[in-house]
Amino acid sequence: MPRRILLADDHGGIRRRLRSYLEGADFEVCGEAVNGLDAIEKTKALLPDLIILDVVMPVINGLDAIPEIMKSAPGVKIVMFTVDEAEELRREALRRGAHAYVGKWSPADLIQEMTRLLGS
């Protein structure tokens, strides 16, 4: 059974490319979110196994969305997928409950982390 993935990024082009890449690697993308609040709501509705969450998004940023997501879906895995390499952001994301922090320039690293987290 494919694992259900929710993509949360405010850039439509990134979501489209990422969806295509993930589906080509046999992952099921169950939904897309355009901001942190949308990610929280879609997590409740779609019950994904894993969320790929951007840090910088409107309405609620990815960091602030993490604790709310974890309240509604404590078993979900969260991978922060961002262009920001700042070590302090990585530490803060992990402290708030993210399971991995991966740069957008490395989709292969994203697949590796997803596979590790999902046990696929």
**DSSP per position, 14-55:** HHHHHHHHHHHTT-EEEEEESSHHHHHHHHHHH--SEEEE-S
pLDDT at 120: 56
d(CA 87, CA 91): 6
Could you tell me the two tokens for 71? Answer: 């309240």
Q: What is the pLDDT of residues 39-94, one digit of tens each?
A: 999 999 999 999 999 999 999 999 999 999 999 999 999 999 988 878 899 999 99
pLDDT at 1: 47
Among 12-26, 52-66, 68-82, 102-116, which stretch is predicted with the lowest mean pLDDT?
102-116
**What domains are there in the chain, each with its CATH number?**
7-118 (3.40.50.2300)
Region 24-41: what's the mean pLDDT?
Answer: 95
